[in-house]
Every structure is written in structure tokens, then in C-alpha cells.
Amino acid sequence: MRKHSKNGDVLDTARTILYSILAAFLVSMVFILALGVNPLSAFAAMSAGVFGRAYGLAETVAKATPLIIIGLGITIASRGGLANLGGDGQYYMGALSSICVGLFLPKGTSPMIVWVLAFMAAVLFGAFWGGLAGFLKARFHTSEVIITIMLNYVALYLVGALVNGALQAPGGIPQTRALDKAYQFVKLIPGTRVHAGILIGLVLALLVWLLFKKTTLGYRIQTVGESPRAAQYGGINVKRYEVIIMGLAGAAAGIAGMVDVYGVHFRVLEGITNGFGFTALLIALLARLNPLAVVLGSLFISALTVGANAMQIQMNVPTSIVNVVQSLIIFFMLILPGIRKRRLSRRKHGGGLAVAAPADPQTTVVG
């Protein structure tokens, strides 16, 4: 329903994101300088690491896959006014349930059946893990922020207990057995880690975009997020929707876990998420909760990571500099709209600013 006249907003948003990224890179140059390295050659090594070789691009896509899918879930949650900080836990639940499907179905089951069942298991368990936080919020007014973070630990230690116990593969390493070769996702580009999962990610992005663009379900979710009181007046059962919204967010993260297990790791072990949940939150924020922009944002962030690896090898700059860049991007995205508004109103009011203009409401994703 957002047609013309919204274009200005879109441009504004794009400009903010671009400036934030530029500013983040500029500031991070100081840190690189402090390490005694020429920042420009560090950045050159970075971009060469991504764009200079097929492997770099492929790796970027592979790493972006789980981020896209978790980020889409977070987009749904945030549009519904809820913060999902439990991406990692839900991812673990999806990974764990889907590997069980792959390991325990009788040998020789058709791969298609395994994939479908694994996918459903991941959706179910992820949705349960997310929906639980939604249910507790609806029922007992507990903060979904705290609950989702705490459930991350529950899932992490559950995985730890299982890969050290019931599900441990022979050999003493804390990990599960590997999936049968037949069940592993096909590689889209042989010799790289790009697998069929990216297609799932792209299809989901399209579906989430349609959800908010076209469906009454999306309309309701958004209404709950915009104004719970108006939603209630509008006949929407807000409490039920809190469960649905968190369930959808959890389902997405669960799918990401399944996709990673069947496409990249072929087994479950501790530490397979590496903080994807929080990175995806950052991406959803960067993408201003636009599902299609989540895809771009994920590619961008994972390119940074891939490039940082190359930079570390060639220039001896630690990869953690990427974390600095990521944090700075968010930092600038939060403050730039405020600075712009102040400057605009200064110009208009000739300094008369007794009442500060409110910052762009969309910049607060974590509530």
C-alpha cells in the first residue's frame, strides 16, 4: 500500500545505511592504523579476498544462507513488535531435531522424504522454542528479550549434553555421527560450500515479503507491532498473535539450523552457530525490516567476514576488526537519523529547539 511519496523515505533510508557503512569503515581505519597497518591496503586485501576469486564469492553466499533465514524470522518478530534474541537457541533446536530425522530414519529412505521430514521437524522445534517465549509473554508478561536469551543457553547446553552423550559419534569427539552422503544437500557450485540451502533462503525471503505486502496475516502481525491497543480494538487476539509471531520467528531460525546441518556441517556439534542470532538481528536492523533487503544485508555482512579472513592471512590484521565495523555500522545507523533531524530543524527554526524532534521510530528494533 506504500506507493509514491514513499520514495523519499526509501531514498532517505538508503542514504542513512550507506553513510553508516562509510562512517564505520572510516572509523575502523583508526583501529587498523593503530595496528601499524596501512588501512587502505588492508581494505584492498579484504575486497580481493571476496571479489578476487570464485571461492570468496561462493563462501560469501554460503555464509549468508543461515543469516538470511534467521534474519527473516527476526524481521517478522520485530514487525510484530517483539524482539527475538533467541535465534541461536532456535537454530540449535532446528539443527538437533533435523539431524535426528536424518540419523534415525531407516537407511535407504528416499532423500526427499528425509528432507521434508527434517524440514518439518526443524520448523516444529524452532517454532516451539520461539513460541515458548511468546507464550510466556502472553501468559505471564515476561519479557521475551530475557526469555529468548535464556533459552539460548538451554539449547546450547542441551546440544552439549547430547553430543557428549546419547548422540555422540564413536571416536570420542563431542559431535554426532555424520549424515549419510545421500542426504546431504547438493552443491550448487561443485568444489565450494554453496548448497541448495540458499534457494530455500531466497524463497523464504520472497514469502515473507509477500506476507507483509499481500496477506491479512501479515497485516495483523504488523498491526500488533504498530499498536497493540489498536490491534485489540481491531479484533485481533494480541496474546495469541504474540505466540504466533514468536513461533514464526523461531521456525525460521530452526530452518536455518536444518539447512546448515544438511548443507554444510552434516552433523551437529557445539558452536555451529557462532552467534548467528545476534548477527541476524543486526542484519534485520540494517535492512530496516525489509525482507528483500535482509538478503542483501546478509550477503554484505558475510562478505565482510570472508574478506576479514583474507585480510588476517595477508596483512596480519585480526578478523575481530570486522566486529568493530559491524558494531560501528549499527552505532551510526542509530545516531545518523537523529543528527539529520536536528540539523534540519535547526535550519528551519533558526535555532529554536526547545522540544527535540523524536528520532525515527523505526530505528529501535530491540524493544
DSSP-derived secondary structure for 308-326: HHHHHHHH---THHHHHHH
Instruction: Identify the three-state secondary structure at position 81.
Output: coil
206 neighbors 213 (Cβ within 8 angstroms): no
Task: Supply the minimum distance, in Å, between the C-beta of residue 239 and another protein.
Answer: 12
Which one, 116 or 230, has the nearer CB to another protein? 230
> With respect to another protein, which residue has the nearer C-beta, 26 or 206?
206
Does 219 interact with another protein (rule: CB under 8 A)? yes
Q: How far is the CB of 116 from another protein (least distance, A)?
A: 24
DSSP track, 71-89: HHHHHHHHHTT-----HHH
Q: How far apart are CA 359 and CA 119, in angstroms?
A: 41
User: Which residues between 230 and 289 bind another protein (CB under 8 A)?
Assistant: 230, 232-237
The interface with another protein within residues 297-356 (CB under 8 A) comprises 348-350, 352-355
Query: Judged by CB under 8 A, does residue 358 bind another protein?
Result: no
Joined together, the cell numbers standing for residue 285 give: 536492523
Size of the site for another protein (CB under 8 A): 31
191 binds another protein (CB under 8 A): no
Residue nearer to another protein on the CB measure, 96 or 238: 238
Which among 204, 206, 184, 77 is positioned nearest to 129, based on CA atoms?
77
Q: Does 166 bind another protein (CB under 8 A)?
A: no
- Asked if 77 contacts 106 with a C-beta cutoff of 8 angstroms, the reply is no
Cβ proximity of 85 and 149 under 8 Å: yes
With contacts defined by CB under 8 A, name the span among 4-12, 51-59, 110-118, 140-148 that binds another protein.
Answer: 4-12
1 binds another protein (CB under 8 A): yes
Within 5-24, the residues that bind another protein by CB under 8 A are 5-6
Under a CB-based contact definition with an 8 Å cutoff, are residues 337 and 359 in contact? yes
d(CA 178, CA 166): 15
Nearer to another protein (CB atom), residue 66 or residue 80: 80
Which residue ranges make up the site for another protein (CB under 8 A)? 1-6, 214-217, 219-220, 223, 226-227, 229-230, 232-237, 348-350, 352-355, 361
